[in-house]
Chain A
Amino acid sequence: MTREARRFEDTIPQLADTPVPDDLKAWIIDRMEMYPDKKSAIIPCLMAAQKTHGWLSPEAVDQVAAVMKLTPAQLVSVASFYDMFELEPSGNRTIYMCTNISCMLRGADAVMEELERQVGVKNGGVSEDGIFLRNFECLGACDIAPMASVDGHFVGPLTVEDAKTLVEDIRAGREVLAKKQLSRRPVAATLWQNGGRAEGYDVSEGGES
């Protein structure tokens, strides 16, 4: 949009000159319907735009703003408050490595270092093949500490060696650390009665680094 057009009355981008992908637009409109006040849909809609664009580019923000009829400033103000929004170009695969207390107590820092080496970027960086790595606050899975979230799926407990496999699995397009996926872990009582082993899940060895 030209500078000329973005006068104060047009700080809300006009749909007329902000093309929005059809499915994103439809999703946003649906989502707004779900709340007594459409603004409640801001966070989910920004997340949908982020998924569409890979990050919350100014263009992505404009699109949400145009459909929701809100200013882009309002949206970035919200987005920048939350850790999961990326206002800088990001990758298409995401590793959040937890480095909070429980994970720290079980060696998260060393795993993080190894991940940095394996991915080839420092904390917060994106590798050339699009892997985004950052440390994260407690992800709510201290039972598998030290742990990481790979594209939203939790894995752990991680050893330093696991870091290498984890990145290899991502690059090979395989399920990441199949034996350490939290989704297959039974509750503690069951798990430990079986010595840390369960179908599809196994921490009986190398649970601690």
Chain B
Amino acid sequence: MTPETTHLVIDALPAGYSSKPAGEPDRAAIVFTIDGAEVTAPEGLMLVDAAKYGGVEIPVFCYEPKLGAPVGACRMCLVEIEGIPKLQTACSTPVRDGMSVVTKSPRVIEAQNSVVEFILANHPLDCPVCDKGGECPLQDISYGWGRGKSRFTEPKRHFEKPVALSPSIAIDRERCILCYRCVRFSQEVSEDYQLVLLERGADAHVGTFDGTEYIAPFSGNIIELCPVGALTSRAYRFQARPWDIEQGGSVCAMCPGQCNVTYTVRDEKVMRVLQRDNHAVDDGWLCDRGRFAYQAWESEARITQPLVRQGDKLLPARWDYALDVAASALKKAGARSAALAGGGTTNEEGWLLRRLLIEGLGSRNIDSRRGGKLSADVARTLTEPDVTLSIPDVEWADAILVLATELVDEMPILDLRVRKAVNHRGAKLAVATARPSSLDSKAQITARFAPKAVDAFAQALLRSISGEDLGDLPTRAGADGEEIAAIAELLKGAERPAILWGEKVLYYAGGAAPAMTVANIVDKLGVKNTAGAGHLQIPVQANGRGLREIGFLPNLGPALTEEGDGKSSDEIAAALGDQINALILMGVDPMVDYPNGAEWDDALAKAGTVISFSTWLDGTAERHADVIFPLEVGPEKEGTLTHPDGRLQRLRQTVERAGEVNAGWWAIAQLAERVGLDLGVKVVHQITAQIADGVPIYAGITPEEIGGTGVRWQERAAAGNRPAPSRTTFDLPEPQAAAQPNGSLRLGTFRSLWGGGDVEHAATLAPLVSRTRVELSPADGERLGVNTGDEVTLNTESGEVTAIVALRDSIPTGSAFLLDSRDDGVRRAVAGSPALVEVVK
């Protein structure tokens, strides 16, 4: 079904994971007979899947195991089973030992022919103009299992010709064969419950409420699920045909989820992004950002050549010139240089940049985090393999605590895995966040704490787990003691508890304290020796974990060894223009990406030379950069990333770089050469080899070993090389008490999936970028006399900003949540993490 591919195909490893998660039950092998042959297969598989063990293909339309339980609706998979008078659906019948199945008897063939005939009765025969043509399961099945002619001479069912289902998706209802895949996805996988079936019988059709657009974080998956051309990508429509495209596998580096993707490429352009099923990472899904943001890569706004500031203008420059300008500034600054890396910076880029700073410039001022330095013990404890989870572990955990993270915005793909754990694996979920979470409705326990009071909350939870008195901690956390106790009970009672927590809490709540508390909680739960139990940290940056582990930190080196005493990012900001004269920003924009962006804005104004690797001309790049190097986008990039669960993954270049874009690592090597350091790399694999040499926990790793589906370093022998933490529990500082509103409101902030340059510059995603909005409880709305849609002014001790009100029933009274975005006013208003906000109509 996938068209012939000619280059850059990821090695065909089975989509899977190297070791089975602890919670997943074993399946016994059984023997059954299919079309006369004896076949061994795992017990309990549906016949459709078991048949594959005997090389037998049974045609299906509605069956898609990723969607959950089979529905048995299309009837394409009917087979004969000995001892059962009626034909049975192979998609919903589990194979049993000794079963005898026939898929090719005249009776079965007659039934298959009939179903094809029924389906084609109302399906238009417009394959030549259909986007699905050439990669259409219906086409294939009609040839393989159809009668070849139809006796249907009646007029076909008519619907309005293709219409927009959303800015990104078109629907052609006449082509729909009512397999329910799309609506099941919306209702049972992403659970947004917006795409539904309307009417019944022959009038049944797919639609939304009152014709509203289907906008949801994962909506694009339905395009790939549709087995016919009923749901198509509006951006991809009529752009290409399956026979003139190529497919290339890589990894999306737009968030820590690092979903595996396939780029459809024509004429060196990405025409669409498809999922590439890796159970250990993404389970075969993509969020809409990962799927549609590729449109931004073609946008005019993208920087595709170096720029150098002349006076107050940024002017295009030749590479040589730009590199010379940057290098001379660096050379001059020497040990007074600094570098920050973030976003999708690869391990290779980070590695070279680190070497440039340390070996070439004699500076240890490198950071990939915010919020101060992590001690080696804390960093190592949080990385210890026996208490950290893989993604499949999360799926099979029996109790999950989501702590201080909104997954759908921060690591969207994990939101789906948590839902799967709850819906299909029987996991019990607790959600503890300041802002109401989209996972609340799945949770057995939801707990709210005051914005920025996560530290007090986590410590209260720790005490509750330890059976200690909570004291005034719940009050300090602005939380409910009973809810805390309930979560403690849930975690203690579980065999394989999983704690998913957002690294971002370290950025506003007492430095490393929450991390230490998580470490203590994990210790207290005593799950060190229980496989599949522990925690997973959601980094802020896509490759946050990789950058940390290769030693892109001011105080830690490769594999979290203690090394050096450079300045952390906060310290760098403070030292700009004074002790730091040159700053390299690799795929990171402190004004936007860091919560104290406004402070950075002021600091950068004083900086000497700012060298920025950027995709968009905005934020820091626009305002403060002296030299800008164009950054590669996903499919242009080659290198490795480390997934939050420790899985090394490969980015593979699938298109030529746009304009004059060059590889980031190459530019760094060029800079190094100009400051007199030979990094000794000509191709990117040489850097990977240096990493394999220099990072003990990645020792010996090769691109081949990483392959198409990645490898977790914890599962390799080299994991034994890691330095052990000298302690795994920590003394905790007194947590701060939540602010007392006294008439104003506690201020929380949140980021939306729909933000950032990739979204703003992608035609079909841009409409989703929200105007600045503030969420209030209905009670506060009433008190303040404001309604949804009203414009209000927010005053904080740092600044003021106007925002649109959204009253939400679930927002706790006394708190306001502001959408944190690139907007200048917002950046100002939230600078310094103010605790309170005044809302003025």
**Contacting A76 at CB < 8 Å: which of B196, B217, B788, B809?**
B196
**Contacting A81 at CB < 8 Å: which of B195, B200, B788?**
B200
Q: Which of A7-48 contact B (CB under 8 A)?
A: 7-11, 14-17
Identify the closest chain A residue to B771 (Cβ).
A4
Contact (Cβ within 8 A) A14 B808: yes
Whole-angstrom distance from the CB of A128 to the nearest CB of chain B?
Answer: 26
**Contacting A73 at CB < 8 Å: which of B208, B217, B438, B806?**
B208
A71 within 8 A of B: yes
Contact (Cβ within 8 A) A80 B781: no
Identify the closest chain A residue to B197 (Cβ).
A77
Interface string of A63-85 (1 = CB under 8 A from B): 00000011111111100110000
Contact (Cβ within 8 A) B193 A15: no
Contact (Cβ within 8 A) B200 A76: no
A89 to B485, CA, bound (A): 51
Contact (Cβ within 8 A) A16 B210: no
Interface string of B763-778 (1 = CB under 8 A from A): 0000010110100001
Contact (Cβ within 8 A) B771 A71: no
Contact (Cβ within 8 A) B196 A17: no
Query: Known contacts being A4-B770, A4-B804, A10-B806, is A77 close to B198, with CB within 8 Å?
Result: yes
A61 to B208, CA, bound (A): 13
Which residues of chain B have C-beta atoms less than 8 A from A58's C-beta? 209-210
Identify the closest chain B residue to A65 (Cβ).
B209
Identify the closest chain A residue to B808 (Cβ).
A14
Which residues of chain A have C-beta atoms less than 8 A from B215's C-beta? 7-8
Contact (Cβ within 8 A) A80 B788: no
A158 to B192, CA, bound (A): 49
Which residues of chain B have C-beta atoms less than 8 A from A193's C-beta? none
Identify the closest chain A residue to B199 (Cβ).
A80
Which residues of chain A have C-beta atoms less than 8 A from B724's C-beta? none
Contact (Cβ within 8 A) B807 A14: yes
Contact (Cβ within 8 A) B193 A73: yes
Identify the closest chain A residue to B219 (Cβ).
A8
A55 to B62, CA, bound (A): 34
Whole-angstrom distance from the CB of B262 to the nearest CB of chain A?
Answer: 26
Query: Known contacts being A4-B773, A4-B789, A5-B789, is A16 close to B196, with CB within 8 Å?
Result: no
Which residues of chain B have C-beta atoms less than 8 A from A80's C-beta? 198-200
A11 to B194, CA, bound (A): 8
A61 to B210, CA, bound (A): 10
Contact (Cβ within 8 A) A71 B789: no
Contact (Cβ within 8 A) A73 B209: yes
Which residues of chain B have C-beta atoms less than 8 A from A7's C-beta? 215, 768, 770
A17 to B807, CA, bound (A): 7
A46 to B183, CA, bound (A): 21
A22 to B807, CA, bound (A): 20
Contact (Cβ within 8 A) B781 A16: yes
Q: Which of B196-243 contact A (CB under 8 A)?
A: 196-200, 208-210, 212, 215-217
Identify the closest chain B residue to A61 (Cβ).
B209
**Contacting B788 at CB < 8 Å: which of A14, A74, A75?**
A14
A73 to B196, CA, bound (A): 6
A1 within 8 A of B: yes
Query: Known contacts being A77-B196, A80-B198, is A72 close to B209, with CB within 8 Å?
Result: yes
Q: Which of A60-110 contact B (CB under 8 A)?
A: 61, 69-77, 80-81
Q: Which of A108-136 contact B (CB under 8 A)?
A: none
**Contacting B193 at CB < 8 Å: which of A1, A5, A70?**
A70
Which residues of chain A have C-beta atoms less than 8 A from B217's C-beta? 8
A184 within 8 A of B: no
Contact (Cβ within 8 A) A74 B196: yes
Interface size of B as a range: 20 to 34
Contact (Cβ within 8 A) A76 B209: yes
Which residues of chain B have C-beta atoms less than 8 A from A10's C-beta? 806, 808
Which residues of chain A have C-beta atoms less than 8 A from B466's C-beta? none
Which residues of chain B have C-beta atoms less than 8 A from A70's C-beta? 193
Contact (Cβ within 8 A) B788 A72: no
Query: Known contacts being A14-B809, A72-B209, A72-B210, is A1 close to B788, with CB within 8 Å?
Result: yes
Contact (Cβ within 8 A) A5 B209: no
Identify the closest chain A residue to B436 (Cβ).
A9
Which residues of chain A have C-beta atoms less than 8 A from B770's C-beta? 4, 7
A2 within 8 A of B: yes
Interface string of B625-654 (1 = CB under 8 A from A): 000000000000000000000000000000
Which residues of chain A have C-beta atoms less than 8 A from B778's C-beta? 14-16
Interface string of B341-371 (1 = CB under 8 A from A): 0000000000000000000000000000000
B787 within 8 A of A: yes
**Contacting A8 at CB < 8 Å: which of B192, B773, B789, B807?**
B192
Contact (Cβ within 8 A) B210 A17: no
A73 to B771, CA, bound (A): 25
Which residues of chain B have C-beta atoms less than 8 A from A81's C-beta? 199-200
Whole-angstrom distance from the CB of B473 to the nearest CB of chain A?
Answer: 30
Which residues of chain B have C-beta atoms less than 8 A from A72's C-beta? 209-210
Query: Known contacts being A6-B212, A8-B215, A72-B210, is A16 close to B788, with CB within 8 Å?
Result: yes
**Contacting A9 at CB < 8 Å: which of B196, B210, B438?**
B438
**Contacting A16 at CB < 8 Å: which of B198, B438, B441, B808?**
B808
Interface string of B97-129 (1 = CB under 8 A from A): 000000000000000000000000000000000
Identify the closest chain B residue to A7 (Cβ).
B770
Which residues of chain B have C-beta atoms less than 8 A from A8's C-beta? 192, 194, 215-217
A8 to B804, CA, bound (A): 16
Which residues of chain A have C-beta atoms less than 8 A from B768's C-beta? 7
Which residues of chain A have C-beta atoms less than 8 A from B199's C-beta? 80-81
Which residues of chain B have C-beta atoms less than 8 A from A77's C-beta? 196-198
Which residues of chain A have C-beta atoms less than 8 A from B789's C-beta? 1-2, 4-5, 17
Shortest beta-carbon contacts, A-B, top 10: A77-B196, A16-B807, A16-B778, A73-B209, A72-B209, A2-B789, A17-B788, A71-B193, A80-B198, A73-B196
Give me 22 A-to-B residue pairs in the complex whose CB atoms sit less than 8 angstroms apart, sorted by A's number: A4-B773, A7-B770, A10-B806, A11-B192, A14-B778, A14-B806, A16-B778, A16-B808, A17-B787, A58-B209, A61-B209, A71-B192, A71-B193, A71-B194, A72-B210, A73-B196, A73-B208, A77-B197, A80-B198, A80-B199, A80-B200, A81-B200
11 additional contacts, CB 8 Å, given A14-B778, A80-B198?
Answer: A5-B789, A11-B194, A11-B216, A15-B809, A61-B209, A71-B209, A73-B209, A74-B187, A74-B193, A75-B209, A77-B198
